[in-house]
C-alpha cells in the first residue's frame, strides 16, 4: 500500500478535523500517515460520520499514525552548549527513503529544524550548513545539496519543505549559496559544473512567465517594471487556506479582504517571513497583506547571486554564449537593485511596490542582503551600518523590523539568519566593531536562554533579554537547526 498522502485526497475529512480543533496544532493532521488505503478511509468516514456516538478524534487516531509529529529534545544533564549542539545534529538527522504520508522521499539523510518541524526546510538548511561546516560534518552538507538537487530535478524547484502540500511554493533560493559553502568546505570548484543543470533548472523556475511579460505587469514570480526592468517577487499559485494553518487562515480571512488573500499569505510563506508587517498595506493587520504587489530586495539579491554563479559556472565549462547571457542578466539586476530598492534618505534598502511605483514604508532587516552579497557601494554600506546600529541592534541581537505588530517576523524578535547576515555584511565593508557587537549580543542571548532552559530556540527576544521570544501562529520551538548553525559559525569567527 502506498502511504503517500495529498491533502486533497482526504479533503472532506481533513477540513472537518481542522475545523473541529481536535488537535492543538493545525500541523498535526498534515503530518498524519494513513494506516489504510485512502479510498478505504474515506469510505469508512462517509459511512460512519453521521452515526450515533461517532467520535471524530477516535476515528482519526484509529486510521492514521501520528508518531514523530513532535520532536522532544529534553535532557536530564545539561551539556556545554557546543557539545549539546554537536549531539543535536544526530538527533535532528532524518531519513526519508520512501514517501510516508505527506512527507516526500529524499535520497540522502537531512537535518530537520526541531520542535514541531520534522521535515526538510529549504532556506533553513543553508544556515544549518554553516554549523555543519563548523562541526566538520561535510558529508551532511553534501547530503543537503544532493537533496536540493533531487528536488529541483524532480519538481523543478526546492519546495518550502519536503511535504506534498508545499509543492506550490519554494523558499528564498539559497542553492547557489549552498554550493559556495560546499566548494569552500571541500576545496572543490568542480561542484559548480556538477550541479550546473540544477542551477539552470532552479533559475527557470523563478523566471517562468518572463518571455511574454509586458512592462508594468507581473506573471507568477516575475515582474516587469513600467521602465522595463525585470525583477522578481514571491508567489504561490494556490489561492486557498494553507493546510498546515487551515483554520487560522479561514479566521484571518475577513471580508472585504482582497480576492488574492490566501495567495498573498502563501507568497509570504515562500519568503520565509510568515508573518510580518513588512507585507501589510496598513502595516498592522494581516487582512491587508499584499505580498504579491511587492518586489522584494532579498529575493532579487539572491537571484543576482544565482545569475552570477551561472555566469561563472558557464565560464568553467567554456560555454561562452551562456556565460555572456548570465553575466548580462546579473549586471542588469544589479542596476535594478540599486534603482528600485535603495532609499538614500532612509539610509536603507526597501521593498518596491510595483503598483504604486515607490518604496514600501516598512523598515526591514532584508536591507542587509546587498551588503551580504557585496552589491552595495561603500557609501551605501556605511549608511546601512548606521541604520543597523541606530534602529535594529539591541542587547539581544538584530531585530527583523522596527515595528512591533505581534507577528513573529517583527520587532522585538531576533532570528538566527540575520545575525549571520549582519555579522558578515559588516565584516565585508570593514565595520568590524559593529560586526563584533552583533555577534556578541546575540550569542550571549542564546547562551542565557540555554543556561536557563537547556534549549536552543527558533527565535529570541532582542529587547527583553529576561524572557524567551514570542509572537506568531505557534509557540516558540526548540531544537533548533538554524540557531545551532549560526551560533557555531559565529563562535568560530
How many CA atoms lie less than 13 Å away from 117 in the CB half-sphere?
25
**Catalytic site residue from 252, 274, 298, 410:** 274
- The answer to whether residue 55 is catalytic is no
C-alpha cell at 471: 509572537
Residue of 7, 8, 33 whose CA lies nearest to 96: 33
Q: How far apart are CA 221 and CA 35, in angstroms?
A: 38
Residues 6+ apart with CB under 8 A from 3: 33, 34, 98, 99, 100, 101
Q: Which of 31, 119, 458, 478 is catalytic?
A: 458
The closest alpha carbon to 301, from 262, 353, 340, belongs to 340
Asked whether 268 and 276 are in contact (CB, 8 A), the reply is: yes
**458 labelled catalytic:** yes
**Contact of 237 with 262, CB cutoff 8 Å:** no
Catalytic residue annotation: 274, 458
Amino acid at each position: 500500500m502506498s502511504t503517500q498522502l495529498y491533502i486533497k485526497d482526504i479533503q472532506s475529512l481533513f477540513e472537518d478535523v481542522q475545523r473541529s480543533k481536535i488537535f492543538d496544532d493545525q500541523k498535526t493532521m498534515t503530518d498524519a500517515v494513513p494506516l489504510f488505503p485512502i479510498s478505504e478511509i474515506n469510505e469508512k468516514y462517509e459511512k460512519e460520520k453521521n452515526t450515533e456516538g461517532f467520535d471524530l478524534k477516535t476515528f482519526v487516531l484509529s486510521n492514521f499514525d501520528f508518531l514523530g509529529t513532535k520532536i522532544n529534545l529534553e535532557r536530564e544533564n545539561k551539556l556545554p552548549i557546543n557539545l549539546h549542539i554537536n549531539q543535536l545534529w544526530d538527533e535532528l538527522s532524518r531519513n526519508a527513503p520512501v514517501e510516508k504520508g505527506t512527507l516526500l522521499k529524499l535520497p540522502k539523510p537531512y537535518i530537520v529544524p526541531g520542535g514541531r518541524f520534522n521535515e526538510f526546510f529549504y532556506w533553513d538548511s543553508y544556515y544549518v550548513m554553516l554549523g555543519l561546516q563548523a562541526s566538520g560534518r561535510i558529508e551532511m552538507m553534501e547530503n543537503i545539496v544532493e537533496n536540493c538537487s533531487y528536488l529541483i530535478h524532480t519538481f523543478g524547484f526546492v519546495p518550502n519543505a519536503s511535504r506534498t502540500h508545499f509543492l506550490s511554493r519554494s523558499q528564498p533560493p539559497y542553492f547557489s549559496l549552498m554550493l559556495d559553502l560546499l566548494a569552500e568546505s571541500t576545496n572543490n570548484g568542480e561542484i559548480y559544473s556538477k550541479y550546473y543543470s540544477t542551477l539552470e533548472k532552479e533559475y527557470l523556475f523563478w523566471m517562468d512567465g518572463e518571455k511574454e511579460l509586458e512592462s508594468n505587469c507581473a506573471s507568477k514570480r516575475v515582474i516587469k517594471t513600467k521602465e522595463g526592468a525585470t525583477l522578481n517577487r514571491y508567489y504561490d499559485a494556490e489561492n486557498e487556506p494553507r493546510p498546515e494553518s487551515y483554520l487560522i487562515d479561514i479566521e484571518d480571512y475577513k471580508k472585504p479582504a482582497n480576492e488574492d488573500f490566501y495567495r498573498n499569505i502563501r507568497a509570504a510563506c515562500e519568503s520565509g517571513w510568515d508573518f510580518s508587517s513588512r507585507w501589510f498595506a496598513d502595516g498592522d493587520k494581516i487582512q491587508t497583506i499584499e505580498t504579491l504587489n511587492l518586489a522584494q530586495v532579498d529575493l532579487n539579491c539572491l537571484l543576482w547571486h544565482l545569475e552570477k554563479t551561472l555566469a561563472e559556472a558557464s565560464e568553467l565549462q567554456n560555454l561562452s554564449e551562456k556565460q555572456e547571457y548570465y553575466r548580462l542578466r546579473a549586471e542588469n539586476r544589479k542596476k535594478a537593485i540599486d534603482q528600485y530598492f535603495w532609499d538614500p534618505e532612509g539610509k536603507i534598502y526597501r521593498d518596491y511596490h510595483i503598483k504604486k511605483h515607490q518604496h514600501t514604508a516598512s523598515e526591514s532587516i532584508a536591507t542587509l542582503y546587498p551588503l551580504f552579497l557585496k552589491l552595495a557601494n561603500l557609501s551605501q554600506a556605511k549608511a546601512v551600518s548606521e541604520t543597523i546600529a541606530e534602529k535594529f541592534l539591541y542587547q539581544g541581537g538584530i531585530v527583523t523590523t522596527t515595528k512591533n505588530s505581534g507577528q513573529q517576523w517583527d520587532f522585538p524578535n531576533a532570528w538566527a539568519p540575520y545575525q549571520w547576515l549582519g555579522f558578515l555584511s559588516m565584516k565585508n565593508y570593514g565595520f568590524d566593531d559593529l560586526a563584533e557587537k552583533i555577534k556578541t549580543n546575540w550569542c550571549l542571548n542564546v547562551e542565557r536562554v540555554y543556561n536557563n532552559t537547556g534549549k536552543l530556540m527558533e527565535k529570541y527576544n532582542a529587547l527583553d533579554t529576561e524572557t524567551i521570544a514570542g509572537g506568531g501562529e505557534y509557540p516558540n520551538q526548540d531544537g533548533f537547526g538554524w540557531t545551532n548553525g549560526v551560533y557555531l559559525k559565529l563562535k568560530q569567527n
